[in-house]
Amino acid sequence: MSRKHTSVYDVFECDQCGKIYKSKDTLNDHVRGYHNGEFKCSQCLKKLSTRGSLRKHESQVHGNKEGLKIECDLCEDRFRSQEHLEGHLNMQHRRYAPFKCNTCKKSFHYRHSLTNHQVTCKGGQVKCRECGATFTSMSGRIDHYNAKHGDTVYKCKACDKTYPYRASLSKHMKKAGH
């Protein structure tokens, strides 16, 4: 592990893969999880960098609801945080998008969706930290990273086919009638 100083804050770099973290604790979680395999999914053996990302993966990919303590009173779906419940309520039950971009006036159900949108709203781009490819959206960069540099796959629950991109899975599901 090496410590680098920037004009804004100290950062911590992984000696094994070069990823940079804002704190020593998050770097240590990354090393324990990703390089030492401490946070490995019991169902698909994917390695994740933190205990939290393992819980999120198990919930989203495998439907494991353990640790989801906040329940929606309207449909009994469960969430890890009040913010996620609030976004769910806005999108599923209220049909309300209260988070508005000041630049383009586009509205979002989730606060974090607005935050991600604002990165690129004024024509800005986000870069892949591995290869430098640029994208006009945060979700495009995330999909690219997962497909090209990560080991994330999107699995069809109906037929078990896997795809490197969420959009490819969605297209398959529509085409196959799942």
Query: pLDDT at residue 1 above 60?
Result: no
Residue range 72-82, pLDDT digits in tens: 899 877 777 88
Contact 173, 156 (CB under 8 A): yes
Residue range 60-106, pLDDT digits in tens: 776 666 666 788 899 877 777 888 889 889 988 999 999 999 989 99
Q: Given 3.30.160.60, 3.40.50.300, 3.90.470.20, 3.40.190.10, which CATH number is that of 68-124?
A: 3.30.160.60
Phi, psi dihedral angles at 34 (to 5 degrees): -80, -45
Please name the fold of domain 1-65.
Double Stranded RNA Binding Domain (3.30.160)
CATH architecture of 125-178: 2-Layer Sandwich (3.30)
Q: 106 to each of 97, 113, 117, 144, how far by Cα in Å? A: 9, 11, 9, 24
Identify which of 6, 39, 36 has the alpha carbon closest to the alpha carbon of residue 22. Answer: 6
pLDDT on residue 2: 46
Identify which of 35, 41, 39, 42 has the alpha carbon closest to the alpha carbon of residue 16. Answer: 35
pLDDT on residue 157: 84
- Residue 3 binned pLDDT confidence (cut-offs 50, 70, 90): very low
Break the chain into its structural domains and give their ranges.
1-65, 68-124, 125-178
Dihedral, CA of residue 16, residue 20, residue 26 and residue 30, to nearest 10 = -30
Per-residue b or e along 27-40, where b marks 16 or more CB atoms closer than 10 Å to that residue's CB: bebbbebbeeebbe
Model confidence, pTM: 0.44
Mean pLDDT value across residues 55-59: 74
